[in-house]
Structures are given as structure tokens and as C-alpha cells.
């Protein structure tokens, strides 16, 4: 990859990593589901404006609309809500480490639907390493002791499973749509799905929206969704999907640093060890680490 591609990947890691900080701050004032609604609604409006200005439109069938609705549930409504709920009981930094397991849950789920994505011994090894890393980050003793931490961690991990099914659904059902239209559609669909829920169960949350909180929520949507999606598509076009795994590794350090700065969260040694182990597992799943190791061994021989 060129230097500019590395810069783009690092930038995407920063944008996605910042989402855990935004959620952590907004949870001090708003309910989790309302935070999700603000994120997707502000983001969908921004994306619609971008499509209008760029004149990048596409005609949609009823089937396309249905597929986009399902994608909105799988990729936005369920995982975003679960992550926000999970961050009520665990730190944003730990949540980002668990969220990195999206890479291996996606590998497992994809293997159930696509013959070309079948599990190999290398991928299984990477998955085992990554799972051990998540256990290390949570703390093995806490797995059997801390109910609140376990609940929060479980919700974040469940979110990664929804992300994995979203990836499969997108590959199966949204291939005929441009990525920009699909992303805008699922954000808009998520907003439409959540609006009646918010009006019925959380309408009083609107009264809590001070100018500063509203501005923060808008920044959340613009940075962690709109800019992140646009950068995601640019990287996809320039380098292909394989290199996007690297950004999922970069998310975690940024999330840890930003949450430390914004919320003064303590970064535990076990979290750093867990991050290192998870990163090793994801690199093994990616396959390039094994390839490099084989080349080094051949030279030694």
C-alpha cells in the first residue's frame, strides 16, 4: 500500500474509535436508544444532503427498500443500541477491544453462508487466539464474579454478531446498490424504525437536548458515521476490503486514548495485554502474518 492509504486507514480507525468516546459522554445525559436515534438521524440527513449535492442517486425497487430496512436493523439499530447499553457498565476502551472481535465473528458467520469463506485451520487458530485475548481484556476472574461487567461485555459481543450477519446480508442482498446509496438507505431506515419507538417510550429525552448536547450529538454523527462511511468507501475503492481489517485494529488504541482524555478512564494492564493478544489473533485470521512468518523461516533455512 502507498503511504496515503496507510494515512486513510489510520484516519478511519480514529473516526470509528471516537464513537466509543462520544457514547461514553452522551450516556451522562441521555438514554442509550436515544443516543442511537440521534446518531443515525443526523447522519442520514447529512448523507442525503451529500447525495443531493453530488447527484449520486439510484432508483430503488420495493425489494431493495426491504433489504435496506433489514440492513438498517442488523448494522445500525441492534448493534449501536447494544453497544450503548453495554457501555453503561464497562468502559469505552474495553468495549472497543470486545468490538474488535467483529472480525472473527464475521469469519465464522460468513463460513456458514459462503463456500469460498469456509474456515481454515489458520482462521480457527486466529479465532481461538482472539477469544483468549478478549477473555484476558475482561479479566478471567471477572468472568465468573462481576455480573455487571459480564452483562456489558456480553452486549458488546452480541453486537459483533449482528455486524457479522449484516456483512453477510449486505453481500447477498445489496450487491446491486452503490455503497453510498446502501449506507444512506440503512441510516435513513434506522431512523424511521427508531422514530416511533422514541416517540412512544423516550419522547421526554427531547427536552434534555441543550445546544451543547445537540452539537455533540451532531459531531458524533458526522465524525463516526458520515465521514467514517465516506472514508470507508474510499479505502474500499483504493485498496480493497482485505486492508479494512487493519483499521479495526487501529480503532482500539484510539478508543483507549480518547476515553482516557475525555472521561479519565483508567487503562488497565490486562486490557493492553488483551488488546495485544486480540491483535495477534486478527492478524493470523488475516493470513498475512502467517505468510510473513513463512518467508522469514524460509530465509533462515
Express each pLDDT in 215-229 by its tens digit.
Answer: 999 999 999 999 998
Grid cell, residue 32, equals 442509550
Alpha carbons 297 and 127: distance in angstroms, whole number: 23
CA gyration radius, the chain: 19
Q: What is the reported pLDDT for 252?
A: 87
How many other C-beta atoms lie within 10 A of the C-beta of residue 49?
12
HSE value, Cβ hemisphere, 13 Å, CA-based, for 83:
32
Q: What is the reported pLDDT for 115?
A: 83
Q: What is the reported pLDDT for 86?
A: 95
Q: What is the reported pLDDT for 295?
A: 65
Q: Outline where the chain has alpha helix (H).
A: 3-26, 32-54, 62-72, 78-86, 92-99, 102-113, 121-138, 140-143, 147-173, 179-201, 211-221, 228-239, 244-263, 269-286, 288-300
Is residue 75 within 8 A of residue 162, CB to CB? The reply is: yes
Q: What is the reported pLDDT for 107?
A: 85
Given a cut of 50, the residues of the chain with pLDDT beneath it are none
Kindly give, in sequence order, each residue whose CB lies less than 8 Å from that of residue 165, ignoring residues fewer than 6 positions away: 74, 109
Q: What is the reported pLDDT for 250?
A: 83
- Structural domain including 40 reads 3-300
Q: What domain count does the chain have?
A: 1
Query: Which phi and psi (to 5°) does residue 200 adopt?
Result: -85, -45
Alpha carbons 169 and 163: distance in angstroms, whole number: 10
User: For 140-163, what is each residue's pLDDT tens digit?
Assistant: 666 555 556 688 989 999 999 999
Kindly give, in sequence order, each residue whose CB lies less than 8 Å from that of residue 242, ignoring residues fewer than 6 positions away: 286
Amino acid at each position: 500500500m502507498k503511504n496515503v492509504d496507510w494515512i486513510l486507514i489510520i484516519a478511519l480507525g480514529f473516526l470509528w474509535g471516537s464513537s466509543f468516546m462520544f457514547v461514553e459522554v452522551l450516556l451522562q445525559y441521555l438514554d442509550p436508544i436515544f443516543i442511537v436515534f440521534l446518531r443515525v438521524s443526523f447522519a442520514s440527513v447529512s448523507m442525503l444532503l451529500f447525495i443531493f449535492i453530488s447527484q449520486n442517486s439510484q432508483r430503488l425497487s420495493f425489494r431493495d427498500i426491504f433489504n435496506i430496512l433489514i440492513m438498517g436493523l442488523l448494522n445500525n439499530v441492534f448493534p449501536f443500541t447494544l453497544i450503548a447499553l453495554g457501555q453503561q457498565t464497562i468502559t469505552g476502551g474495553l468495549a472497543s477491544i470486545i468490538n474488535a472481535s467483529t472480525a472473527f465473528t464475521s469469519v465464522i458467520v460468513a463460513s456458514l453462508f459462503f463456500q469460498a469463506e469456509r474456515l481454515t485451520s489458520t482462521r480457527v487458530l486466529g479465532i481461538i487466539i482472539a477469544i483468549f485475548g478478549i477473555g484476558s481484556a475482561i479479566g478471567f476472574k471477572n468472568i465468573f464474579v462481576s455480573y455487571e461487567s459480564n452483562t456489558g461485555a456480553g452486549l458488546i459481543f452480541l453486537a459483533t454478531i449482528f455486524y457479522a450477519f449484516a456483512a453477510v446480508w449486505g453481500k447477498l442482498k445489496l450487491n446491486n446498490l452503490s455503497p453510498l446509496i446502501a449506507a444512506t438507505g440503512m441510516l435513513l431506515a434506522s431512523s424511521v424504525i427508531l422514530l416511533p419507538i422514541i416517540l412512544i417510550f423516550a419522547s421526554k429525552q427531547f427536552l434534555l437536548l441543550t445546544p451543547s448536547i445537540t452539537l455533540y450529538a451532531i459531531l458524533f454523527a458526522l465524525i463516526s458515521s458520515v465521514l467514517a462511511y465516506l472514508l470507508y468507501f474510499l479505502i474500499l475503492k483504493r485498496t480493497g476490503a482485505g486492508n479494512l481489517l487493519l483499521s479495526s485494529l487501529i480503532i482500539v488504541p484510539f478508543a483507549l486514548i480518547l476515553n482516557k482524555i475525555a472521561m479519565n478512564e483508567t487503562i488497565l494492564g490486562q486490557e493492553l495485554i488483551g488488546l495485544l493478544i486480540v491483535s495477534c489473533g486478527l492478524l493470523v485470521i488475516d493470513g498475512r502474518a502467517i505468510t510473513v512468518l513463512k518467508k522469514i523461516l524460509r530465509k533462515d533455512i
